């Protein structure tokens, strides 16, 4: 089987998270002996430094067709972007052949890639990750709604990464879908089985430093449980200065460390030193960082924000309401007090059984076969 994955980009050392979900799937499918062509259409504007043009190469067992121009895509330019997508797609056809499946990720890329369904008639799949669609209908802006309307009607199968997203897309767009969650990078993360000290008790959190991730709330809660505890925050973003000021105002410079953006293997090394994971995000369609922590054997504290509540059970950690600092404080204290009741090996094994690349790739292949 040949599959062409259409992505916004590919992870690089400069931007390791850009296109990460898409490329993870491409690598997992390639290991299942699926022939994968990974087409990237990077239309970010000129402020994102990169090489422009069309490039073809192989990366980690995946054929990559990379096309980059300094544009900014919106509804008015979709016809232009669609015709630009044909440049790397036609290059792929010459050296890779006609794919059996075209699989786009995110509604914006799906809107662009819909031209492939119209022009070539190849079965078309879209995976939706966008947290904006976990909102109520009146909170979704008109541009996003119009882009989705250009994508979803043309796909033969819409996939959502969580049950909440599936339900919201059904309600807001009247379009049915199936759920296939994101996968954990089992090459980067692992459970080493080593016992850990609990004094000090070490919490860790991962995410972009943006308001939606709720790091200010996590810091505020940690300030109330900080005795003999440490908090590592991994990530980078525009909220860094505000968080640094908050940490200083609370006098927590010795207890909280902002570690910046780290590669996955480096994050895993930090996880091995920590006791628990906590993230106070206000909205997620899934929450890959949670399963990365669980794969490393960490119990987690998560918010009921649209994703984590569908895969985190009582034996994995504690769920709290969004924007509820008292509940977050209580959860952090409760987890510390009951830490020895959590079985890190079981947490890791359960995560592997549900979210390993092998498991998710099999579900994708079954979906593709159902369309052929």
DSSP 189-248: ----------SSEEEEEES-SSGGG-HHHHHHHHTTS-TTEEEEEE--STTHHHHHHHHH
Contacts 24+ apart (CB under 8 A), 7-13: 7/38, 7/39, 7/40, 7/41, 7/104, 7/105, 7/109, 8/40, 8/41, 8/42, 8/105, 8/106, 8/108, 8/109, 9/40, 9/42, 9/44, 10/38, 10/40, 10/59, 10/64, 10/66
Residue 177 domain-assigned (yes or no): yes
The pairing of beta strand 53-59 with beta strand 62-68:
antiparallel
| Res. 372 pLDDT band, cuts 50 70 90 | very high
Tens digits of residue pLDDT in 355-371: 999 999 999 999 999 99
Q: Let me know whether 137 and 110 are in one domain.
A: yes
| Res. 73 pLDDT band, cuts 50 70 90 | low
Considering only CA atoms, which of 99, 93, 81 is closest in space to residue 8?
81
Tens digits of residue pLDDT in 222-231: 999 988 999 9
- List the strands of the sheet with 317-320, edge to edge: 256-260, 229-234, 201-206, 276-278, 300-303, 317-320
Q: Let me know whether 117 and 252 are in one domain.
A: no
Residue 191 domain-assigned (yes or no): no
Q: Let me know whether 115 and 213 are in one domain.
A: no
Q: Let me know whether 165 and 291 are in one domain.
A: no
Domain at 62, CATH number = 3.40.50.2000
Considering only CA atoms, which of 107, 101, 24, 38 is closest in space to residue 360?
24
Residue 17 domain-assigned (yes or no): yes
Look at residue 74 in the predicted model and tell me its pLDDT. Answer: 56
Burial class (CB in 10 A: 0-12, 13-18, 19+), 53: exposed
Collapse the DSSP code of 308 into the 3-class scheme (helix H, G, I; strand E, B; otherwise coil) and give the result.
helix
| Res. 330 pLDDT band, cuts 50 70 90 | very high
Task: Go through the chain and tell me how many residues it has.
Answer: 372
Look at residue 205 in the predicted model and tell me its pLDDT. Answer: 98
Tens digits of residue pLDDT in 92-126: 999 999 999 999 999 999 999 999 999 999 999 99
Residue 91 domain-assigned (yes or no): yes
Assess whether pLDDT exceeds 70 at residue 342.
yes
Q: Let me know whether 290 and 211 are in one domain.
A: yes
Q: Let me know whether 331 and 251 are in one domain.
A: yes
Q: What is the mean pLDDT of residues 198-205?
A: 95
Assess whether pLDDT exceeds 90 at residue 277.
yes
| Res. 261 pLDDT band, cuts 50 70 90 | very high
Assess whether pLDDT exceeds 80 at residue 212.
yes
Residue 194 domain-assigned (yes or no): no
Look at residue 143 in the predicted model and tell me its pLDDT. Answer: 86
Assess whether pLDDT exceeds 90 at residue 45.
no
Percent of the chain at pLDDT > 70 equals: 99
Q: Let me know whether 166 and 210 are in one domain.
A: no
Structure tokens at 234: 């991994």
Look at residue 136 in the predicted model and tell me its pLDDT. Answer: 79
| Res. 17 pLDDT band, cuts 50 70 90 | confident
Which residue in this structure is represented by tokens 């290059």?
Answer: 91
Q: Let me know whether 86 and 21 are in one domain.
A: yes
Residue 188 domain-assigned (yes or no): no
Q: Let me know whether 76 and 132 are in one domain.
A: yes
Look at residue 15 in the predicted model and tell me its pLDDT. Answer: 84
Structure tokens at 162: 């969580």
Q: What is the mean pLDDT of residues 340-356?
A: 96
Quote the domain boundaries for residue 280: 201-354
Residue 196 domain-assigned (yes or no): no
Residue 189 domain-assigned (yes or no): no
Q: Let me know whether 175 and 27 are in one domain.
A: yes
Q: Let me know whether 149 and 232 are in one domain.
A: no
| Res. 76 pLDDT band, cuts 50 70 90 | low
Per the structure, the count of domains in the chain is 2
Q: Which residues contact 269 (CB under 8 A, 6 or more apart)?
A: none
Which residue in this structure is represented by tokens 């953006």?
Answer: 261
Q: Let me know whether 149 and 30 are in one domain.
A: yes
Q: Are 111 and 180 in contact, with CB atoms under 8 Å apart?
A: no
How does the average pLDDT of the chain come out, rounded? Answer: 94
Whole-angstrom distance, CA of residue 106 vs CA of residue 6? 10
Assess whether pLDDT exceeds 60 at residue 75.
no
Look at residue 194 in the predicted model and tell me its pLDDT. Answer: 87
In the chain, which ranges are E strands?
2-7, 35-42, 53-59, 62-68, 101-105, 124-128, 157-160, 178-179, 201-206, 229-234, 256-260, 276-278, 300-303, 317-320
Look at residue 132 in the predicted model and tell me its pLDDT. Answer: 82
């Amino acid at each position: 089987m040949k599959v062409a994955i259409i992505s916004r980009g590919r992870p690089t050392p400069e931007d390791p998270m850009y296109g990460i979900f898409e490329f993870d799937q491409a690598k997992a499918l390639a290991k299942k002996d699926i022939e994968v062509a990974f087409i990237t259409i990077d239309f970010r504007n000129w402020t994102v430094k990169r090489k422009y043009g069309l490039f073809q190469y192989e990366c980690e067992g995946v054929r990559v067709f990379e096309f980059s121009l300094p544009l900014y895509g919106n509804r008015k330019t979709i016809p232009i972007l669609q015709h630009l997508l044909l440049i790397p797609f036609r290059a792929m056809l010459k050296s890779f052949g006609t794919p059996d499946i075209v699989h786009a990720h995110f509604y914006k890329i799906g809107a662009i890639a819909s031209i492939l369904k119209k022009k070539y008639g190849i079965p078309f799949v879209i995976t939706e990750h966008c947290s904006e669609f976990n909102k109520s209908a009146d909170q979704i802006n008109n541009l996003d709604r119009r882009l989705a309307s250009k994508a979803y009607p043309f796909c033969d199968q819409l996939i959502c990464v969580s049950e909440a997203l599936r339900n919201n897309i059904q309600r807001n767009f009247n379009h049915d879908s199936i759920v296939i969650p994101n996968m954990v990078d089992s090459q980067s993360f692992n459970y080493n089985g080593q016992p850990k000290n609990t004094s000090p008790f070490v919490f860790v959190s991962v995410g972009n430093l943006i308001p939606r991730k709720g790091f200010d709330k996590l810091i505020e809660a940690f300030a109330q449980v900080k005795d003999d505890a440490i908090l590592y925050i991994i990530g980078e973003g525009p909220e860094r200065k505000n968080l640094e000021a908050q940490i200083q105002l609370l006098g927590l410079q010795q207890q909280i460390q902002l570690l910046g953006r780290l590669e996955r293997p480096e994050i895993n090394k930090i996880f091995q030193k920590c006791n628990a994971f906590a993230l106070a995000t206000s909205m997620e369609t899934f929450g890959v960082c949670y399963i990365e922590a669980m794969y490393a054997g960490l119990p987690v504290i998560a918010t009921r924000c649209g994703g984590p509540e569908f895969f985190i059970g009582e034996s994995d950690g504690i769920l709290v309401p969004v924007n509820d600092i008292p509940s977050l404080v209580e959860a952090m204290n409760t987890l510390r007090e009951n830490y020895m009741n959590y079985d890190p090996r079981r947490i890791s094994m359960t995560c592997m059984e549900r979210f390993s690349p092998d498991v998710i790739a099999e579900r994708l292949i079954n979906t593709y076969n159902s369309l052929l």
